[in-house]
Structure 1
Amino acid sequence: MLRPPRFLARAARASGPEREAVIQAAKAAVAAALAWLLSRWVLESPQPWLAPYAAVFLVVQVTIYRSVRDAGQQLAVVATGVVLALVATLLTDQVVVGLAVVVLVGMLLSRLRMFGEHGQWVAVTALILVSQAGPEASSPVSAVVRLAEIAVGAVVGVVVNMLVLPPVYQRDATAALTGVAGRLADLLRRMASSLREDQEARADLAHDWLHRARGLADEARRARDSASWARESLRLNPVRRRQRTADPAAVLGPAADAVVEVSSHVVDLCEATVDAAEQQDEARADEDETTEGGEPGLDPLFVGSFADLLDHLAAAMEEIRDDPAAMSPQADRHPPGTGALELMSAVHREAAQRLPGSTGEVRAGWSVEGALLNAAQRAVVDLTGRRPGSSE
């Protein structure tokens, strides 16, 4: 019982999804009323229900570009439903038979690519006309009027969505992107701190890191989708012309792509850490088995250097969090992750000195260290566009 008042209170208090939902609902109501009135005045139609139907359908689209794009599809969908109802009622005067025919044919026609994701409304429109319009559904003149109602509703819906508080989602996209970048940075710093403290991977923490990393990877992909919505919301939008809003494709697009790629590599890091922790647990459980040439697990020297590398990756995520434009190709500065790139080269040199060919030592931890380094290197490359040790 308290949810609706709380929802409205949040909508009135601050900008957000609640306010956006209220605005879209109000716009749909206005568009429906205007479409009905215009159809009554211009077309003199006694029950012009198709006009508000088309208007609401287009207003509830989340961007102006999508409203304009879908206007053609919506006209085609409803017009096909009107024609289908006309043909069905001309062929038979039995309502039951007509309903069966329009539903069967309409559902088959709905699969045509030209109707996009709205094809099911062909059958719905024809069904309503056959069941409610009665003899009028078999009149060609009535069918033409219905088509005109759809056109009026489509025009009203597009105009209302374009001129009345047109939706812009750049702020939501920025908040989603900076939020996930900050949480990735926090996870990386927690991993670095734990590795320094324990000098090994703890199984309980490693599994928790992996769970969080997978959740953040999903969140990063949603943030990239939000950046795409932000870009689309400015297409055909008069707000952009008045306020000269920056193109989110240039500001948020590169940052969103980088965060998605880094989040997937953090998942790989966590999976490798889980492997290391499980190897160490197995070694402790069976004290009689030892790895030839030394103790299994991660080398303490590697752990220290790798923890520093995680901190540098966290710093890169924090830089994106504070300024997503840092990843833009037009940014006049070093890209985030430059410090990690330099440290990555040093870690590679240290790892090479401890290879079996250099010392003769063989440790089980080398495979895990290699997996960790590979995942970290891919993250660095995605951030900087350069590989460790490259001269450019």
Structure 2
Amino acid sequence: MRTLARRARRQLLRPPRFVARAAGASGPEREAVIQAVKAAAAAGVAWLLARWVLEAPQPFLAPYAAVFLVVQVTVYRSVRDAGQQLAVVATGVVLALVATLLTGQVVVGLVLVVLVGLLLGRLRVFGEHGHWVAVTALILVTQAGPAAGSPVDALVRLVEIALGAAVGVVVNMLVLPPVYQRDASAALTGVTARLADLLRGVAASLREDQEPREDLVHDWLHRARGLDGEARRARDSVAWARESLRLNPLRRRRQSPEPVAVLAPAADAVVEVAGHLVDLCEAVVEAAEEQDQADSPEEPGLDPLFVGSFADLLDHLAEALEEIRDDPGSLSPRSDRHPPGSAALELMTAVHRDAARRLPGASGEVRTGWSVEGALLNAAQRAVVDLTGRRPTRPRDAPGPDEG
């Protein structure tokens, strides 16, 4: 009972907290309130215009279309979906007209429009809104009855839906059009900072223990996989930010750079680095498991010299991510500065050189850690390449990406 009471109390407190957050600061809550107010205003305006201009007694399609297009998350999507919405409702109106003329009965017409409307709605031209063909025809047949078979009324319905669509697009375009650049920037900088923290944590542990700790490696891998998904969501946020500026009349008033020129390259690089960090953590887990399963605890695993250099390399990668966090424009094609990761590129070359000197052919020693070191170098090198756009110089006898 106490659990149910707590859940009920939380549910009752959600609306007041939502309103408080919307009134207190800008964010998703305030954006939702703004869009709701715009949709309500657009519905009222569309209904009044349909009554005054078209003299329609019950112009429900006009506010329906207006609300449908206002709640779209970007101006571009409102304009794009306006054409689809007109096609959907026009098809529903024509379907109701034909069904009423053919059957003359509400029940038979209702069954017919639902059956045919759902099948027609699967056409690609209607996109994800195809099911509204059947819904529109169903509403017309049940509400209008035999009047749904009047060609004049059908034409009025088509004009009504066009009027509502126009009102929805204009309201969404001119009244506080949504722009999501700040959300995209926050998502990108947040995941970039957490990736850098993970890299520094792995580097510090390797430097201190000289080998991967089995009690930490699985946590690193779990965090890396979570950050990989978070980085992809941040890239999606950047795509939303880019779309929110298309056809947006406030675009020219904004002083900040466009996400397409600044945030997009940084988001792509961060996603790639996050994926390579997952590979790196998987190699670290493999190293810890191999060391644990070795016949002798003193059997040579990762070379201490390699561990120290590799930990430094991870720190340089973390530093590059922190540069992106502080200035996402550092990876923009318009930037004239050295790309983040230049220091990691130089160290990567040195690590390859040292690895070549310690090849089994040079020292005669064969260690279990060679394959793991190769996997770690491969993942780190791919991250460096994605950050700098250049490959490190590697000696001819250095192990390649897929060599052990």
Q: C-alpha distance in 1, partners of 2:311/2:213?
A: 14
Within a 5 Å distance, the mapping from 1:197-236 to structure 2 comes to: 197-236=208-247
The equivalent residue for 1:374 is 378
Asked whether the 8 Å contact 2:241–2:259 carries over to 1, the reply is yes
Following TM superposition, the consecutive aligned residue runs of length 4 or more in structure 1 with deviations greater than 4 angstroms are none
Amino acid across the alignment from 1:370: G
Asked whether the 8 Å contact 2:89–2:132 carries over to 1, the reply is yes
Q: C-alpha distance in 2, partners of 1:79/1:137?
A: 13
Is residue 69 from structure 1 mapped to residue 73 from structure 2 by the alignment? Answer: no
Amino acid across the alignment from 2:23: A
Q: C-alpha distance in 1, partners of 2:383/2:289?
A: 24
Q: C-alpha distance in 1, partners of 2:131/2:370?
A: 57
The equivalent residue for 2:126 is 115
Is residue 305 from structure 1 mapped to residue 309 from structure 2 by the alignment? Answer: yes
| CA deviation map 1:46-69 (0-9, x unaligned) | 100000000011001111011011
The equivalent residue for 1:353 is 357
Asked whether the 8 Å contact 2:106–2:146 carries over to 1, the reply is no
Amino acid across the alignment from 1:84: L
Within a 5 Å distance, the mapping from 1:106-145 to structure 2 comes to: 106-145=117-156
For the residue of structure 1 that corresponds to 2:338, the secondary structure is coil
Return the offset for 1:216: 0.6
Is residue 323 from structure 1 mapped to residue 327 from structure 2 by the alignment? Answer: yes
How many aligned residue pairs are there?
A: 384
Amino acid across the alignment from 2:334: Q
The equivalent residue for 1:265 is 276
Structure 1 length-normalised TM = 0.96
The equivalent residue for 2:3 is none
The equivalent residue for 2:99 is 88
Return the offset for 1:290: 4.4
Return the offset for 1:163: 0.5
Amino acid across the alignment from 1:105: V
Return the offset for 1:96: 2.2
Structure 2 gap segments, 5+ residues each: 1-11, 395-404
Is residue 47 from structure 1 mapped to residue 51 from structure 2 by the alignment? Answer: no
The equivalent residue for 1:386 is 390
Amino acid across the alignment from 1:384: T
Asked whether the 8 Å contact 2:105–2:146 carries over to 1, the reply is no
Q: C-alpha distance in 2, partners of 1:19/1:385?
A: 40
Amino acid across the alignment from 1:363: R
Asked whether the 8 Å contact 2:238–2:264 carries over to 1, the reply is yes
Structure 2 length-normalised TM = 0.93
Q: C-alpha distance in 1, partners of 2:372/2:136?
A: 61
Q: C-alpha distance in 1, partners of 2:300/2:77?
A: 58
Amino acid across the alignment from 1:45: A
Residue among 236, 241, 253 paired with 2:252: 241
Amino acid across the alignment from 1:357: G
Q: C-alpha distance in 1, partners of 2:123/2:300?
A: 61
Amino acid across the alignment from 1:276: A
Return the offset for 1:197: 1.2
Return the offset for 1:272: 0.4
